[in-house]
Copies of this chain bind each other. A is one copy, B any other.
């Protein structure tokens, strides 16, 4: 065990950046090693193969995602459901968009769009806890069971809005957004503004969905 960690860590760092930017498939082992200033064989030596390297990068991303959900949960502890939702959206968006953690979230976005065999781990360890927490919060807001279809759809509505602000080519960031006249710099103030918008939009939307289901005669929450 000598200066081994050196190149291993450089490769890992380069891989995280490149995988986040371009996805797993488009990035070549040679490019990673060129950026890391390492030999082509270093990937296979330290990580068995290209996918082993990818999996290692994903693992650290999963840790960050879980921490985000946990932070949101703690921030809203003991408060009413609506306030918990506010906290969640604010914290989630800040971690999503603040430069630095940004690349990690982009990595997940790639994996969701073009899944690899590592998808299951991400869903089970990172996404499911977040969805379950959100479903619990929304369920208490609109007085339904967490498994109710209206709850799940509302969770999907909230999540899709937040994720659309990821710095992907999608709305409202990036190339498309620029062509459409959108402009968004991820400064703390702007992130706050977006968080406020999604919060206002989603809370009103959630209550409306709750009311609509109730007047149409759906069952209310047990107890």
Contacts and interface: CB of A to CB of B under 8 A. Distances in A.
B208 A169 contact: no
Interface string A171-194: 110011001111000000000011
A201 B209 contact: yes
Contact of A127 (B156, B157, B176): B176
Contact of A161 (B128, B161, B208): B161
A154 interface: yes
A157 B161 contact: yes
B171 A164 contact: no
A124 B181 CA distance: 12
A222 interface: no
A15 B24 CA distance: 23
A42 interface: no
Contacts of A157: 161, 197-198, 201
Interface residues of A, number: 55
Interface stretch (A28-36, A65-73, A111-119): A111-119
Interface in A138-166: 147, 149-150, 152-154, 156-157, 159-161, 163-165
A209 B200 CA distance: 6
A159 to B, nearest CB: 7
B198 A208 contact: no
Which of A128, A152, A154, A212 neighbours the largest number of chain B CB atoms within 10 Å of its CB?
A: A152
Interface of A: 23, 25-26, 112-115, 119-120, 123-124, 127-128, 131, 147, 149-150, 152-154, 156-157, 159-161, 163-165, 168-172, 175-176, 179-182, 193-194, 196-198, 200-209, 212
Given A128-B179, A156-B165, 15 more contacts: A112-B169, A112-B176, A113-B170, A114-B169, A115-B175, A119-B169, A123-B180, A128-B180, A147-B181, A153-B194, A157-B201, A160-B160, A197-B209, A201-B205, A201-B206
